[in-house]
Amino acid sequence: MSDASIQVTTNGPFRVSGSFQLTDAAGTAFGLGGRTVVSLCRCGQSKNRPFCDGAHNMAGFKSDDKARDLPPKA
């Protein structure tokens, strides 16, 4: 499963696409119903977490993160 892509959307969720598996803290996989694209909540307001339900719009969530390089590991 190495064909996954994650997009940080402006004022919205993380958009995950490609070939991936999503698991909970215990390692149990979520059943994705054959989907190859899902949106993951990052505002914390979704009633369907970890999936986005659009609640960020009503919550006024704002985030416009731009790609950047992380510093080298210490």
- Can you tell me the distance from the alpha carbon of 24 to that of 41, in angstroms, rounded to the nearest whole number? 14
Confidence of residue 1 (pLDDT cuts 50, 70, 90): very low
Residue 73, judged by CB atoms within 10 A of its CB (0-12, 13-18, 19+), counts as: exposed
At 10, the amino acid letter reads: T
Each residue's pLDDT tens digit, 7-51: 999 999 999 999 999 999 999 999 999 999 999 999 999 999 999
What is the residue extent of each domain of the chain? 1-63
Choosing among 3.40.50.2300, 2.40.33.20, 3.40.50.20, 3.40.5.90, the CATH entry for 1-63 is: 3.40.5.90
The answer to whether 13 and 56 are in contact (CB under 8 A) is yes
pTM of the predicted structure, to 2 decimals? 0.89
